[in-house]
Amino acid sequence: MASDLPYRPKQGEIPTTPGVYRFRDAQGRILYVGKAKNLRARLSNYFAPLHTLHERTRRMVTTAASVEWTVVSSDVEALQLEYMWIQEFTPPFNVRYKDDKSYPYMAITLADEAPRVIVTRNRKIRGAKYFGPYPKVWAVHEVIDLMIKVFPIRTCSDASYKKAMATGRPCFPGQIGRCGGPCSMRVSIEEHRAIVDDFVAFMAGGDQRVTRQLTARMREAAAAMDYESAAVYRDRLSAVEAVLGKSALVLSDDTDADLFGIAEDELAAAVQHFVIRGGRVRGVRATTIEKELDIAGAELVDQVLQRTYGGADAADIPRQVLVPQLPDDAADLEAWLRERRGKNVTVGIAQRGPKADLMRTATINAQQALLLHKTRRSSDYVARTQALTDLQEALGLAEAPLRIECYDVSHLSGTNVVASMVVFEDGLPRKDQYRSFGIAETSDDTDSIYQVLTRRLAHVDDAPDDSVPEATDQGEDVVVTRQKPRFAYRPQLLIVDGGRPQVAAAERALRDSGHSEIALCGIAKRLEEVWLPGEEYPVILPRTSEALYLVQRLRDEAHRFAITHQRKRRKRDITTVLAEVPGLGDARIKALLRHFGSVTALRAASPEEIAHLPGIGPKLAAAVHSRLIAR
């Protein structure tokens, strides 16, 4: 069975986003490169029973020793990255095209009297301006269809153009609105040339002027309640934004750079190293780092660069190194790299444009890698057992804490205070037993901790009903035993997010509830210190210990769950308030929250800013603003 392949990843480890996957053999050679709109769904096909697979696929998966993937932001980027890596690595199991065609380009024939836009694979058209390459022919046609809505230039053939200009009758594409050249009899040659120049300028640099102009016109039309014109501008703006969504995976041909995306927490970090040569992503190298010391940010970047280039050949060091944060000794690093390469090297941050987009893609992949590392580590039975044993010894417990509950408090400037309870059993999360608490009145976090634990501990002594008769159509003597409520299960260890004050409040709740026998500790985020009740100094767990990793994961999960619940409450509250405004339905409420991005931004907006949103006039905007201010 292919399901027994030792390198098969677990279903939950594979993301459901678009991406490119690679199968490698035991020597690291890439056997196959493929793309997917949904990586999890696509890769699961390779791990079906062997006898159901095609012979070639079966040979590939049994020859491979590992599978890896790279997440991208769109299906088009997946197509482009797949193409680049097939050309780069020539995997033996990928299809080989005998004609070895390259991808199609968009070309504007600037040497013509009335330039036209065409799809071509020919890179030798005299005087033509090229854009691309694009992953598929349909992709370049799609871009042209979008562009001619904003910049109506000529699309008809040279024969159609000559005939139309000679007869004075519009060309056929012009008659059906598919050609905007002089042959459509709507513009002069000079006017058309100006539109072509705008077309080229926009495609060359993604000129944001057009976007700003269309946005301003759309808002003016909406404010004047001219919704038909506003809809036209909206459609044009959508077309422009769709074209601007070009792939970050294709940079200028002279770009040679290494780009590092980093995701980290207190105990580990994941690094995604994108190797860019000739404007293309030639390779991705992934590294996971266990932090021996408390390093983060700029210091971590410094160590990553030293580790990457310390033993590298001069040919492997590029002209530009892009990082998420500049090290403190960036100038010294540049001098060191320049000496090793023998040529100039710059270390910088990608702040905008395609490089910044690619940095975001690398960072997303690093976050996926860190999550995968933590998931695999927590699912390791030996590591979990070691973590519970180490925690027992460090906290002086009589037995290993098989059931641990962790609590965190979340609020927004003292409002919408909520708390979370997450449960781990045998070192694994039991999400079906998570609980959230609303706190109506509280003075501070310590009071919130006390309230929540008092409410939770009141259920520890809940006894289950022995049995409850239940009338069914199977007979009157049927008796159903009622299970003990899960909320009543007694934990061996309680963990609170915080230091000595939070632990003291939790200890008071245990004492007042009559459950001082339950072990207690707190974890302070700044130095990952573990605090015990009544102790003057914290317990310092080794940074690489499984016990600290488990406690940290509990704290992070409690924090995530509390934040999620708190945000839901805020959104529900503001939605309820907005629903009270006459004329404001669900669709407009969603549009408001989506446009402003947050409740805070919406409250800070003026009536004029609210009125800029399509479908909301000045009167409705004033009503929304008044309702939010009144609240």
Which residue has better confidence, 299 or 110?
110
Q: Which DSSP string do the residues of 2-16 spell out, in sequence order? A: GGG-TTPPPGGGS-S
Task: Provide mean pLDDT across the span 168-178.
Answer: 86
Q: Among candidates 600, 630, 629, 627, which has minimal Cα distance to 412?
A: 600
First vs last Cα of the chain: how many Å apart?
62
pLDDT level of residue 572 (50, 70, 90 thresholds)? low
Q: Is pLDDT of 101 > 80?
A: no
Single-letter amino acid, residue 184: S
- Whether the pLDDT of residue 209 is over 70: the answer is no
Q: Which of 12-26, 98-112, 531-545 is predicted least confidently?
A: 98-112
580-630 CATH pick, 3.30.2290.10, 3.40.640.10, 1.10.240.10, 1.10.150.20: 1.10.150.20
Three-class secondary structure assignment of 105-137: EEEEECCCCCCEEEEECCCCCCCEEEECCCCCH
- State the average pLDDT over residues 188-217: 76
**What is the pLDDT at residue 368?**
83
What is the pLDDT averaged over residues 234-241? Answer: 71
Q: How many CB atoms lie under 10 A from the CB of residue 10?
A: 10
Instruction: Output the CATH code of domain 257-376.
Output: 3.30.420
Closest CA to 14 of 263, 371, 274: 371
Instruction: Give the neighbor-by-neighbor strand order of the sheet with 105-109.
Output: 117-120, 105-109, 128-131
- The residue assigned the tokens 């994961």 is 553
The whole-number pLDDT of residue 473 equals 39
> Confidence band (pLDDT; 50, 70, 90) for 494?
very high
Confidence of residue 420 (pLDDT cuts 50, 70, 90): confident
**What integer is the mean pLDDT of 562-566?**
75
Average of per-residue pLDDT across 70-91: 76
Least confident of 287-301, 343-357, 378-392: 287-301
Per the CB < 8 A criterion, the answer to whether 440 and 416 are in contact is no
Spatial separation of the C-alpha atoms in residues 23 and 32, rounded to whole Å: 5
Q: Please state the rounded mean pLDDT for residues 171-182.
A: 86
Share of the chain above pLDDT 70, in %: 81
> In this predicted structure, what is the pLDDT of residue 321?
92
Whether the per-residue pLDDT at 31 is higher than 80: the answer is: yes
pLDDT of residue 212: 76
Neighbours of 125 (CB within 10 A): 16
Confidence of residue 322 (pLDDT cuts 50, 70, 90): very high
The mean pLDDT of 501-530, rounded to a whole number, is 86
Q: What is the pLDDT of residue 471?
A: 38
Highest mean pLDDT range out of 64-68, 93-97, 413-417?
A: 64-68
Could you read off the pLDDT of 357-414 as tens digits, one per residue?
888 888 888 888 888 877 777 666 777 888 888 888 888 888 889 889 999 888 765 5
pTM to 2 decimal places: 0.48
Q: Which CATH class is domain 381-462+485-567?
A: alpha beta
Query: Exposure of 397 by Cβ count < 10 A (0-12 exposed, 13-18 middle, 19+ buried)?
Result: middle
CATH number for the domain running over 2-89: 3.40.1440.10
pLDDT grade for 253, boundaries at 50, 70 and 90? low
Q: Percentage of the chain with pLDDT > 90?
A: 7
Query: What pLDDT digit, counting tens, does each position of 443-465 carry?
Result: 788 888 899 899 888 887 765 44
Per-residue pLDDT tens over the stretch 578-609? 666 677 777 777 777 677 665 566 767 788 77
pLDDT at 475 exceeding the cut of 50: no
Q: Is the peptide bond before 133 cis (omega within 30 degrees of 0)?
A: yes
Instruction: Mean pLDDT check: name the lowest of 125-139, 252-266, 429-443, 446-460.
Output: 125-139
Residue 476 has pLDDT above 50, yes or no: no
Q: Higher pLDDT residue, 350 or 612?
A: 350
- For 161, other C-beta atoms within 10 Å of its C-beta total 23
SS (H, E, C) 225-244: CCHHHHHHHHHHHHHHHHHH
Predicted confidence (pLDDT) at residue 524 exceeds the cutoff of 90: no
**Across all residues in the chain, what is the average pLDDT?**
79
Radius of gyration of the chain from Cα atoms? 31
Pairing relationship of beta strands 128-131 and 105-109 according to DSSP bridges? antiparallel
Domain boundaries, the chain: 2-89, 105-205, 257-376, 381-462+485-567, 580-630
> Contact, 83 vs 135, CB < 8 A?
yes
Task: Say whether pLDDT at 247 is over 70.
Answer: no
Q: Which pLDDT does position 406 carry in this prediction?
A: 92
Fold match flag (257-376 vs 381-462+485-567) = yes
Q: For position 479, what pLDDT does the model report?
A: 41
CA torsion angle 605 608 614 615 (round to 10): 100
